[in-house]
């Protein structure tokens, strides 16, 4: 098991490279299927990717990545994760079974590993026995969905599978005959889990830069395209600032000093981070479309990624900061209000103007928060 050292190990960083690839695949899936159906499919795939990553983070919070058997687990998960990632473009096509089997292998295999290595710790064994049972229940729907018609039933069955997995921690992993688990049994090292989630946010921000740079480098460098690229870069910096300057440090401090870090980690880092990372990925898609087609009209479909990503990110950050602070930040509420206000003037905007406006919102929120609480933040 892990000792008092909460630093992220090199084996964990190596493991995260698979998810750099996975997030790239997710954003490209939406880019190449930019429709309501494509958005629903991408959302499901994203939620699955996040879930397999965050569960691995919880496990690594307890295990020492310097131990040979733990490295073996990580490398096995990496192999399955590569198959999971490679199958994403055709997850709702001919590679649905590959995606489902890779996902099940990661979730169940990791849980069974923990059950075995926690011999002598009855509470921990009970937790991972419950987790494995919940994963067995969801596996039925993952496989059924993979065998169903890709266009008639797969999305619905996989949505049921995800609903089962996401409901598990909220019910205390209740299993008839075994009862419920309690968050006080979920001992976590707050600094480690906070740093792991921060690194995942960095992965998603890296995707924003990667998509923007790749798009701009492959097109003619016109003035509108250049302005859109620079605006997207400023937007990525704004995303980083809003998350890391206040929320991350305060959240990390609170979980390290909480009487029930398991409950806080479940809420603040397992669930509240979903809209944060999803908003960043959606923003990356909006940046690509704005850079590639800056003169195109800013209709509702385009605003869904450009403004929708910013709004989702701000809502998630507000929730996260509300958990670690006293209030939902006023700056984030105003930012959300400005996103709604921009929807009213979409008919008079093009994608370049919308891109600049969304970046301006992020910059305003960052400056507001810096002026109101940033300089006075003391978590040491």
- Write out pLDDT tens, residues 199-252: 999 999 999 999 999 999 999 999 999 999 999 999 999 999 999 987 777 777
Label residues 179-210 b or e (16+ Cβ within 10 Å = b): eebebeebebbbbbbbbbbbebbbbbbbbbeb
pLDDT in tens, 44-81: 999 999 999 999 999 998 888 889 999 999 999 999 99
Q: Is the pLDDT of residue 7 over 60?
A: yes
Q: Is the pLDDT of residue 118 over 90?
A: no
pLDDT of residue 119: 85
CATH architecture of 190-376: Up-down Bundle (1.20)
Residue 200 tokens read as 């995942």
pLDDT of residue 371: 85
Computed over every residue of the chain, the mean pLDDT equals 90
pLDDT in tens, 148-178: 998 889 999 999 999 999 999 889 899 998 8
pLDDT of residue 44: 97
pLDDT of residue 379: 46
Q: Residue 376 and residue 371: Cα distance in Å, rounded?
A: 9
* 23, 281 contact by CB (below 8 A): yes
Q: Is the pLDDT of residue 331 over 60?
A: yes
pLDDT in tens, 278-303: 999 999 999 999 999 999 998 898 89
The fraction of the chain above a pLDDT of 70, given in percent, is: 94
Domain positions in the chain: 10-181, 190-376
pTM for the whole structure: 0.92
Q: How far is CA 6 from the centre of its chain?
A: 21
């Amino acid at each position: 098991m892990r000792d008092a050292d909460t630093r992220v190990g090199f084996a964990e960083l190596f493991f995260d490279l698979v998810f750099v690839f996975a997030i790239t695949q997710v954003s490209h899936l939406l880019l190449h299927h930019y429709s309501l159906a494509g958005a629903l499919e991408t959302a499901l795939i994203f939620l699955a990717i996040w879930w397999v990553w965050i569960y691995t983070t919880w496990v690594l919070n307890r295990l020492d990545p310097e131990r040979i058997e733990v490295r073996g687990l990580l490398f096995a998960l990496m192999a399955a994760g590569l198959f999971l990632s490679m199958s994403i473009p055709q997850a709702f096509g001919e590679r649905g079974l590959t995606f489902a089997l890779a996902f099940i292998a990661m979730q169940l295999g990791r849980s069974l590993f923990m059950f075995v290595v926690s011999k002598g710790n009855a509470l921990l064994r009970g937790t991972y026995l419950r987790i494995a049972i919940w994963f067995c229940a969801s596996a039925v729907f993952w496989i059924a969905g993979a065998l169903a018609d890709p266009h008639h039933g797969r999305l619905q069955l996989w949505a049921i599978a995800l609903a089962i997995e996401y409901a598990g921690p909220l019910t205390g992993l209740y299993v008839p005959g075994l009862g419920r688990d309690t968050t006080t049994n979920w001992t976590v090292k707050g600094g480690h889990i906070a740093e792991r989630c921060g690194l995942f946010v960095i992965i998603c921000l890296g995707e924003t830069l990667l998509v923007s740079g790749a798009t701009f480098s492959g097109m003619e460098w016109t003035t509108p395209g250049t302005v859109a690229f620079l605006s997207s870069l400023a937007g990525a910096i704004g995303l980083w600032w809003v998350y890391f300057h206040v929320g991350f440090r305060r959240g990390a401090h609170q979980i390290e000093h909480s009487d029930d870090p398991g409950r806080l980690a479940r809420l603040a880092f397992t669930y509240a981070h979903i809209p944060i990372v999803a908003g960043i990925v959606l923003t990356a898609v909006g940046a690509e479309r704005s850079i590639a087609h800056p003169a195109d009209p800013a209709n509702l479909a385009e605003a869904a990624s450009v403004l929708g990503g910013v709004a989702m990110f701000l809502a998630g950050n507000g929730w996260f900061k509300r958990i670690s602070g006293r209030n939902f930040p006023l700056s984030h509420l105003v930012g959300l209000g400005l996103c709604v206000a921009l929807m009213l003037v979409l008919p008079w905007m093009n994608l370049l103007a919308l891109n600049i406006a969304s970046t301006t919102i992020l910059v305003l929120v960052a400056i507001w928060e810096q002026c109101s609480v940033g300089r006075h933040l003391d978590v040491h």
